Amino acid sequence: MAKSTAEDVAALQRQIGVAIQAGRDNEAGQLWQRLLDIDGANTKALFALSQRAFRAGDLQRARELLGHLVAIDGRDQQQWINLAVVCRGLHDEAGEAEALTGALTVDPTDMLAQLLRGDLFERQGRRHEAARAYGAGAMAAPPVEQLDPSLRPLLQRAHAFQEQYRRDYGDWMDAHLAPLLGDLHGEPLGRFRDAVDIMFGRKRRYDPQPALFYYPGLAPVTFFERELFPWMPALEARTEAIRAEFLAVLEAQQGFVPYLSYPPDQPHFQFAQLNNSPDWSAFHLIEQGRINEANAAQCPVTMAALADLPQPRQLNRTPSAMFSLLRPHTRIPAHTGVSNVRLVGHLPLVLPNHLPGQCALRVGNDVREWEMNKAWVFDDTIEHEAWNDSDALRVVLIFDVWHPHLSQAERTMITALADGIAQYGAGSGGFEL
């Protein structure tokens, strides 16, 4: 910007401040426009003029100004939210959706953007996506007494939508499960029925550890006794062969992906530093219940070993199996898993030479260090974290197994429940409460 132009801009900004303080609104508007005329990329002028156009009912002008603003800046989610509101007023749902994605890319935890996204999805009849967005907005909301009164009706509508959605979802699931429950009449499925009631809010959940699906009556055990898993010695006997397959794929350097990869408009929470990071990476063999054919073909011994395990089946969730790599000086923050019906097993493949405590896993109050040729199984719905503070790589084979205290009938019903979840959310990528 030339010196004279910069001086003009500074002078206009001073005049605008004086006009605003004096309550001369029309004069301030004219000065904002003069400022934009000489500095077309002035973000303050664009924002102020867009607000004036919106208040005057000139939505097309407001949209032009906000579109230019986000194109040259876009670092403030409020810019995008304002654009979304204007697009809604113009009945432009595509523009509204794009603007809300922009706002949530800036800040995935923004309450208002999530609630507005839920409102858009609700208007479009996309109930599964609406429930997800409303849920994210409600989770980010402060206590109601701290919330701006103008936003309370939107939050209340979000809560009301979620409650109705949960009732509808529960009724649908009851009908979906009824035939199979009839076939299993007489089987001890009381815990399963309690689990479904808890899932849909019909009963209180007293043990809040699993993030998505709580199954009552399963004792919260951190690391399970080996005797519960008769297949464990056979798995451990294959350690060297499985390790050899891992080293071969590691040498090829293909198929490894970050363990976490969240879309830019989704909240990362405590995993922000590890999102899309090679510091915690995986070579997926089975991912969310589906075999990765390209990777599995390179590891026939590992796949045969996994086939001998009691792998749970919950569509779009489990089983999963992978080589998990944790680079030196990397820590996985404390978190909890999604359901206590399936447990997580570790078989160490590559361990660093390290001082005591440098490379370990904490589950609840129990901390253990991996040992070669020794597998273990733990409940990942209990808060857990892992770290590798050593100077070398740590690799384990991670796999899922059924909780050993579930009956075959309970496992059958849990699988049916997962199928129902997938069917109910078909076409929307699935939805989970």
Question: What are the pLDDT digits (tens) for 310-367?
Answer: 999 988 889 999 999 999 999 999 989 989 999 999 999 999 998 899 999 999 888 9
Which tokens belong to 153? 């009706």
**For range 296-318, the mean pLDDT:** 95
> By C-alpha distance, which of 328, 313, 334 is closest to 412?
313
pLDDT in tens, 158-187: 999 999 999 999 999 999 999 999 999 999
Please report whether residue 432 resides in a domain.
no
Q: Does the structure show a pLDDT above 50 at 208?
A: no
Which pLDDT does position 118 carry in this prediction? Answer: 97
Which pLDDT does position 158 carry in this prediction? Answer: 97
In angstroms, the Cα distances linking 101 to 108, 117, 138, 297 are 9, 8, 18, 38
How does residue 214 score in pLDDT terms, banded at 50, 70 and 90?
Answer: confident
Which pLDDT does position 274 carry in this prediction? Answer: 79
CATH code at position 102: 1.25.40.10
Please report whether residue 191 resides in a domain.
no
Structural contact between residues 368 and 224, judged by C-beta atoms closer than 8 angstroms = no
Please report whether residue 173 resides in a domain.
no
Please report whether residue 192 resides in a domain.
no
| Cα separation, 433 vs 431, whole angstroms | 7
Same domain flag for 139 and 288: no
Q: Residues of the chain with pLDDT > 70: what percent? A: 95
Same domain flag for 147 and 53: yes
Backbone angles phi, psi at 347, to 5 degrees: -125, 110
**For range 406-431, the mean pLDDT:** 83
Q: Does the structure show a pLDDT above 60 at 428?
A: no
Please report whether residue 197 resides in a domain.
no
Which pLDDT does position 4 carry in this prediction? Answer: 57
Residue 281's CB: how many other CB atoms inside 10 A?
19
Please report whether residue 78 resides in a domain.
yes
Q: Does the structure show a pLDDT above 60 at 431?
A: no
Q: Does the structure show a pLDDT above 80 at 427?
A: no
**For range 232-244, the mean pLDDT:** 98
Q: How far is CA 259 from the centre of its chain?
A: 13
Please report whether residue 61 resides in a domain.
yes
127, 161, 195 — which closes off a domain? 161
Please report whether residue 428 resides in a domain.
no
Q: Does the structure show a pLDDT above 60 at 10?
A: yes
The count of structural domains within the chain is: 2
144, 161, 178 — which closes off a domain? 161
CATH code at position 334: 2.60.120.330
For residue 360, give its domain range.
226-405
